[in-house]
Structures are given as C-alpha cells and as structure tokens.
C-alpha cells in the first residue's frame, strides 16, 4: 500500500470513529422532548416561552462540557440564563435521557 493511500485510510478511519462517538438518535430525542413537554416552551429556531434550541446551541458552542452543562440544566431547571421565566426541572429523566436531549439540543434539534 503506498504512503498516500495509507494516510488517507487512516484519516478516514479517524473521522468515522469520531462521528460514531457523537451519533445520536434524533427521532428518539425529539420524541423524548415531546413526551417531556419540552416542545411546549421551546422551538428549534424561535423563542417561545423559553429560548430557541439554536440559541442554546450557540451559547454553548465550543464548550467541551456543553453536554454536561445542558443536561444538568434540564435536570435541575431554573431561571435567569435566558430570562426570568423559570424552566421546570426534569428530575424524572434518567442520565442517558438527559444526555440524549442535551446532545440533540446542541446539535440544533435535528429531525433526523
């Protein structure tokens, strides 16, 4: 195998392994958001009662601990970060559900 092909294959393997690490089930996340009443106050691209998911994603862009921060905020609820209206806590959600919602929100709440 020549060197250029070997380097290309290694680079492709690295990209694919990183993509797999961040894979999420967008349909499951959206269903969980609907079931948990998140969509009653949040939309993808416009402010409703709470901030738009795109604004949450923008606020946390580039933060290594963004998933943990957003998951913790979903779990505990609170107010002040985006205005005075409080977000109720979602303390009934399991850690993997909180992480799924946080990843989905930070990805821009995709449909697929």
- Binning the chain into helix, strand and coil, the percentages to the nearest 5 are 55, 0, 40
What is this structure's pTM? 0.77
pLDDT for residue 81: 87
- The rounded distance, in Å, linking the Cα atoms of 57 and 33 is 16
What's the N-to-C CA distance of the chain in angstroms? 37
pLDDT digits (tens, 9 = 90+) for 3-53: 554 544 444 444 333 333 346 899 999 999 999 999 999 999 999 999 999
The domain spans of the chain are 24-106
The CATH architecture one would assign to domain 24-106 is: Orthogonal Bundle (1.10)
């Amino acid at each position: 195998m020549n060197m250029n092909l070997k380097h290309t294959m290694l680079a492709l393997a690295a990209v694919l392994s990183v993509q797999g690490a961040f894979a999420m089930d967008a349909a499951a996340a959206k269903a969980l958001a609907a079931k948990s009443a998140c969509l009653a106050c949040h939309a993808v691209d416009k402010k409703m009662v709470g901030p738009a998911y795109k604004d949450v994603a923008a606020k946390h862009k580039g933060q290594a601990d963004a998933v943990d921060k957003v998951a913790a905020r979903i779990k505990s609820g609170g107010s002040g970060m985006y205005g005075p209206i409080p977000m109720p806590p979602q303390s009934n959600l399991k850690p993997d559900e909180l992480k799924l919602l946080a990843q989905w929100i930070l990805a821009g709440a995709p449909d697929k």
